[in-house]
Amino acid sequence: MVDRDANARSLIYTKLSQSREELRSILDPPPGEYGGSGTAPGNGHGGFPRSRTMQMLLSGRGLGTLGALAGGLLIARPALALRLLRFVPASAVAKMLMAKAVGMLKSKSGEP
């Protein structure tokens, strides 16, 4: 009886290990997708953000989506939007916006 339970448990562990490996292969990006460094392209912050969710949100399309969501929330529920705005660290957002603005100015000044 104990031997049969141990065999069943071993089979379950083997199947779990295989399904974990399948999930990793599906969810992890291919090794050379971002140039092998693990960071998003054009990301000059020394590997920040590391998570793919934050990389997507901070990309051009992600920022547009977040802007549309914030605009819709501001129009639909202005009191809630202003209350949520208090949680946003203003200095960090200001630094990020300034860095993007300077980067855009540098790229435009380099064009003929």
Residue 66 pLDDT more than 50? yes
Tokens 């203003």 -> residue: 90
Query: How far apart are alpha carbons 65 and 53 in whole angstroms?
Result: 13
Asked if residue 101 lies in contact with residue 94, where contact means CB atoms within 8 angstroms, the answer is no
Residue 10 pLDDT more than 50? yes
Query: How far apart are alpha carbons 40 and 32 in whole angstroms?
Result: 11
- Choice between 49 and 16, residue whose per-residue pLDDT is larger: 16
Residue pLDDT, tens place only, 29-64? 666 555 444 444 554 445 677 788 888 777 878 888
Which amino acid belongs to residue 14?
Answer: T
Residue pLDDT, tens place only, 82-100? 898 888 888 888 888 888 8
Tokens 């809630």 -> residue: 80
Furthest C-alpha separation in the chain: 81
Give pTM, 2 decimals: 0.38
Q: Any idea where the domains of the chain sit in the sequence?
A: 49-109
